[in-house]
Structure 1
Amino acid sequence: MRLALIGVGLIGGSFAGALRAAHKVDHIVGFDSRQEAVKRAVDLGIVDQFVAAPEQAVDRAELVVIATPVGATRQIFRAIAPHLLQTAIVTDVGSAKSSVIAAARDELGPAFERFVPGHPIAGREHSGVEHSSPAMFANAMFVSTPVEQTSAAAAHYVEELWRSVGCRIERMTPEDHDDVFAAVSHLPHLLAFALLAQIAGELDAERKFAMAGSGFRDFTRIGGSSPALWTDICLANPRALAAELGGYRALLDKLQSALESGDTDTMKAVFQRAAVASRTHARA
């Protein structure tokens, strides 16, 4: 199989490497807007060659994997659509699905039925193809979000590829996906960034950071992730993330009111609900 990898970073590089290790691909052509990234991927043996434009990457490709930031997908779809094989299957790895599907519907034309939207639930703190690993998806989840127009055969093909690299498959609607990951991924990152930014802007920031212990480090670890990447993800899922943020803000207001009034029962009830959830779900 000839694979076009558009976006040669952590996830794209890991998937390409995993497919190669599983003997699912014969030739991988890479494109990335950062030429140093795709050259590094060639040096690492992740891709066989690199090209200067996405439309060149998809030439004769049977599978096209789009692993760019979500905000770039519309431009990519527009560029590749006229150059796809009539049988080529296109898929993505984006962390928000509704906006990507809307862009694909607008730009891919007849190839839209062969577009299989998906999201592997895997990653690392450090981005970049140099941190990629073929083993990244072992025992991970791949969320497949086909729509009514998606070819059943194309969806099955993509899901089997992810299964072959170690993933278990979960199907969701795009809307359900965006609601769930707004709560368990996008909002936590936003909050970690916000807390770090708030403290960093205070006059005694250095002293506070110097005194911070393991609890603070645990809470804010993901605040060291790529600001560009997470700006892109948050803005790609505005409806669901804004709803989750609104609910969180309402609970913070409730806790602030309890704090100011000395309302032990309310504060303890919120903490108790959280503790039960942590024991039951978060550490499962």
Structure 2
Amino acid sequence: MFDKVVIVGAGLIGGSFALGLKAAGAVRTVVGLERSPQALARALELGIVDEAATDPGAALAGADLVLVAAPVAQTAAILASLLPHLDAHTIVTDAGSTKSDVVAAARAVLGERIGQFVPGHPIAGRESNGPDAAIPDLYRGKKVVLSALPENDGAVVARVAEAWRRCGAIIHMLSAKEHDRVFAAVSHLPHLLAYALVDDIAKKPHAELLFQYAASGFRDFTRIAGSSPEMWRDISLANRDALLGELDAYVAQLSNLRTHLAAGDGPALEAVYANAQRARCAWIEAIEAAEPPPNADQESGK
């Protein structure tokens, strides 16, 4: 499907994309373009990339597709480094967890060539990072959101979608604004809460004792606090307005729970817990059910 794919950031996300394409026989050559020489060498050693490059010009020559898999705050600088070497046929996409800021950066940098950029976000990950965390089946059965732009040719979007499909992903379409509003609630806020809880306990004078008795419930709730602080700092700031709205709503919910608890209102507490249990069970059943292949209407966002 692709003669040459360039991965900017050959860690968990970019590396897994490369391995997924390779496993599907969908790419002839993968070139890694990485800011860390150590990570680049490791990606080459693990067979994630076939060639290692530190110069964008050498990396992009003849490239069909470029995936930018780096912290979202770096998007503008990365695209600026790529632009002088971008062939007319080369498609650029990204894997950032926010989209409005990425689109704004891409418009500012790429200008009239914005049609070559297709914003994307794979809904998959692990708490570990770097090339050693990359696996070929990370995206199998997982959603990938594409936030296609008005300037994107349909064939360009379809080509990016097919690349993700070859990795086993299921394609969904959301506008950048809708994407950020949704993920502020179901991804960005949970990460903020996990980080906050672990940080709070770590700062207590008897933290060592608390961590000694923390068990599976604490581990499961805080698993995502093991993610990259740099990446989640950028995501939190990039989606600040939507995240603040979700945080305010959550603070209000905590205030209500505190009121019920202080009043010893068991029925009110149980009602909140029961509603949450029902909602979570329904969600688990939905995600565990085999999701049918999306039809044309679903993929067009209709």
TM-score (norm 2): 0.90
Task: Spell out, residue by residue over 1:91-133, the C-alpha distance to the aligned partner (whole angstroms, 9 max, x if none).
Answer: 0111111111110011012321121111111111211111211
Q: Secondary structure at the match of 2:26?
A: coil
Determine whether 1:13 maps to 2:15. Answer: yes
C-alpha displacement of 1:283: 5.2
- Counterparts of 1:151 and 1:241, CA distance in 2: 32
Is the Cα–Cα contact under 8 Å of residues 189 and 223 in structure 1 kept in the other structure?
Answer: yes
Q: Is the 8 A contact 1:139 1:168 kept in 2?
A: yes
Moved more, 98-107 or 204-213: 204-213
Q: CA deviation at 1:53?
A: 3.1
Once the two structures are overlaid, the 10-residue window that deviates more, 263-272 or 201-210, is: 263-272
Paired with 2:205 and 2:173, the residues of 1 have a C-alpha distance of 48
Partner of residue 271 from structure 1, selected from 265, 270, 273: 273
**Of 51-60 and 143-152, the range deviating more from structure 2:** 51-60
Matched, 1:206 2:208: yes
Aligned to 1:95: 97
Matched letter for residue 149 of structure 1: E
Name the CA shift for 1:235/1:55 in 2 (closer, same or farther; >3 Å): farther
Deviation of 1:145 (Å) = 1.0
- Structure 2 counterpart SS, 1:241: helix
Q: What's the counterpart of residue 155 of structure 2?
A: 153
Match status 1:128 vs 2:120: no
The whole-number CA distance in structure 1 between the counterparts of 2:191 and 2:285 is 18
Per the TM alignment, residue 159 of structure 1 is displaced from its structure 2 partner at its CA by 0.3
Query: Counterpart of 1:143?
Result: 145
Distance 1:3 1:31 in 2: 11
In the aligned structure 2, how far is the partner of 1:62 from the partner of 1:146? Answer: 18
Residue pair 2:56, 2:85 contacting (<8 A) in 1 also: no
Question: 1: CA distance between counterparts of 2:285 and 2:97?
Answer: 22
Asked if the contact 1:12/1:65 (under 8 Å) is kept, the reply is: yes
Aligned residues: 284
Alpha-carbon distance in 2 for matches of 1:264, 1:132: 46
1:25 and 2:40 correspond: no
Q: Give the Cα–Cα distance (whole angstroms) in 1 for the partners of residues 154 and 166 of structure 2.
A: 18
2: CA distance between counterparts of 1:7 and 1:54?
Answer: 12
SS in 1 for 2:66: strand
Q: Residue 47 of structure 1 aligns with which residue?
A: 49
Distance 2:125 2:185 in 1: 17
Q: CA-to-partner distance for each residue in 1:57-96, whole Å, 9 max, x for gaps?
A: 2222121111111111110111111210011111011111
Contact 2:6-2:32 at 8 Å conserved across structures: yes
TM-score calculated relative to the size of structure 1: 0.95
SS class of match (2:171): strand
Q: Percent identity?
A: 46
Equivalent residue number for residue 259 of structure 2: 257
Aligned to 2:226: 224
Gaps of 5+ in 2: 287-302
Secondary structure of the corresponding residue to residue 27 of structure 2: coil
**Is 1:81–1:109's contact at 8 Å kept on the other side of the alignment?**
no
After superposition, give the CA deviation of every residue in 1:196-251 in whole Å (9 maximum; x if it has no partner).
Answer: 10011111111111122221221112212222222122222112111111110111
